[in-house]
Structure 1
Amino acid sequence: MADYIDGFVLPIPSDRLDDYKQLSETVAQIWKEHGALDYREYVGDDMMLQGTRSFSDLVAAKKTDTVVFGWVVFESREARDLANAKVAADPRMEDLVASSNSGFDANRMAYGGFLPLVRAACITK
């Protein structure tokens, strides 16, 4: 079972979401080549819960943005650190980001590495 995840949330201009999806699909494969066990990204759908701060507020999303939430699963923090170092050194990454018109802006992304706290499996009948 995986023991560490990197989580992130970021805004993408809605009119560039298809370009971002293409970039993200390629990036996911690179992360998995370098040791990630799983890579997922989802687009915001229901972003407001009364009495809480929304992800939209967190990343200062504009009305023309779509909020993306994702995570990358690793066996351990050590495996994450090694994979992230390999991804950072992979020449495909720089080329992908430079050639993409996805609207990705790391300065608008919130990110963190997380240890497990609670695991509750759902059993369906």
Structure 2
Amino acid sequence: MANYIDGFVLPVPRDQLQRYGEVAEKVAKIWKEYGALEYFEYISDDAAMEGTRSFTEVVNSKEDEAVIFGWVVFTSREARDLANEKVAADPRMTDLVSPLVSTARPIFDAKKMVYGGFRSLV
């Protein structure tokens, strides 16, 4: 199956993982509403391998942060592009994400997030 995925990696403060997860569950439903086939987010458990750069290095995570690795599956890049437009315009996303990026206690820092769209290879 030749799907298209958006992949992302980002650090989240460990003491905010539950809150982040609650938001991610709601965000996943919105993505699926707009065409995502699947939506996954995982917490790092073993993020280092000798001789390679780790996800923790790439996102410059701190000791008190966990690294989240996620991906969203679409039928095609066109379906992904359309979903991105609709999700960005959905006011529910603003309501969900705004508290996460609050300057008082940011949970999510987009400058530390790594993101990309990927087409199928194997």
Specify the TM-score bucket, using the shorter chain as the normaliser.
over 0.9
- How far is 1:107 from its partner? 1.4
Counterpart amino acid of 2:41? E
Q: Does 1:81 align with 2:85?
A: no
Two-structure CA RMSD over aligned residues (Å): 1.2
Larger radius of gyration: 1
- How far is 1:102 from its partner? 7.0
- How far is 1:17 from its partner? 0.4
Counterpart amino acid of 1:103? I
Q: Does 1:112 align with 2:106?
A: no
Counterpart amino acid of 1:35? G
Q: Which structure 1 residue ranges, 5 or more long, are not aligned? A: 119-125
TM, length-normalised to structure 1? 0.90
Identity of aligned pairs, percent?
A: 62
Q: Which structure 2 residue ranges, 5 or more long, are not aligned? A: none
Q: Which residue of 2 aligns with 1:121?
A: none
Alignment partner of 1:28: what SS? helix
Q: How far apart, in 1, do the equivalents of 2:18 and 2:99 lie?
A: 14
* Aligned positions, number: 118
Alignment partner of 1:117: what SS? coil
Q: Which residue of 1 aligns with 2:29?
A: 29
Q: Which residue of 2 aligns with 1:123?
A: none
Q: Which residue of 2 aligns with 1:9?
A: 9
The answer as to whether partners of 1:35 and 1:83 remain within 8 angstroms in 2 is yes
* Offset from partner CA, 1:56-83 (integer Å, 9 cap, x none): 0000000000000000000000000000
